[in-house]
Amino acid sequence: MKPRLKLVIAGGGMAGLAVAVLLHRSRHAASLDVTLIDAGPRPVFLPGDDVGLRVSAISPGTEALLARAGAWDHVSSARCSSYEHMRVWDAGEPADGPSTLRFDADEFATPHLGTIVENALVQHALLECLNGSRIELRFATRIESVEAVDGGHRLTLDSGDEIVAALLVAADGGRSPVREALGIGVERLAYEQTAFVTHVRPEKDHGSTAWQRFLPTGPIGLLPLSDGRVSVVWSTTPEVAARAMDYDDDALGDALGSASDFVLGQLEPAGPRGSFRLAAQHAKDYVRTGLALVGDAAHTVHPLAGQGANLGFADAAVLVATLDAALDAGEFPADRPVLRRYERQRRGANALMMHALTGLNRLFASDSAVLGAARRTGMQWFNRAGPVRRRIVEVAFGAER
Ligand X SMILES: Cc1cc2nc3c(=O)[nH]c(=O)nc-3n(C[C@H](O)[C@H](O)[C@H](O)COP(=O)(O)OP(=O)(O)OC[C@H]3O[C@@H](n4cnc5c(N)ncnc54)[C@H](O)[C@@H]3O)c2cc1C
Binding site for ligand X (CB under 6 A): 10-16, 37-40, 56-58, 119, 142-143, 171-173, 177, 195, 197, 233, 276, 295-296, 303, 306-310, 312
**Nearest by Cα to 313 from 56, 62, 32:** 62
Question: Measured from the CB of residue 376, what is the shortest distance to ligand X in angstroms?
Answer: 26
Q: Which residue's CB is nearer to ligand X, number 56 or number 99?
A: 56
**Nearest by Cα to 99 from 213, 222, 4:** 213
CA distance 198 to 270: 8
Question: Measured from the CB of residue 303, what is the shortest distance to ligand X in angstroms?
Answer: 4
Q: Which residue's CB is nearer to ligand X, number 312 or number 333?
A: 312
Would you call 288 exposed, middle or buried from its count of C-beta atoms within 10 A (0-12, 13-18, 19+)?
middle
| CA dihedral sign of residues 44, 48, 54, 59 | positive
CA distance 345 to 253: 44
Question: Measured from the CB of residue 384, what is the shortest distance to ligand X in angstroms?
Answer: 27
Q: Which residue's CB is nearer to ligand X, number 61 or number 372?
A: 61
Question: Measured from the CB of residue 195, what is the shortest distance to ligand X in angstroms?
Answer: 4
Q: Which residue's CB is nearer to ligand X, number 244 or number 309?
A: 309
For 27, phi then psi, to 5°, come to: -70, -10
Question: Measured from the CB of residue 56, what is the shortest distance to ligand X in angstroms?
Answer: 4
320 CB-near residues (< 8 Å, 6+ apart): 19, 22, 23, 26
Coil, helix or strand at residue 341? helix
Angle at 10 between CA 36 and CA 134, to 5 degrees: 15
Question: Measured from the CB of residue 53, what is the shortest distance to ligand X in angstroms?
Answer: 9
Q: Which residue's CB is nearer to ligand X, number 100 or number 141?
A: 141
Q: Which residue's CB is nearer to ligand X, number 299 or number 376?
A: 299
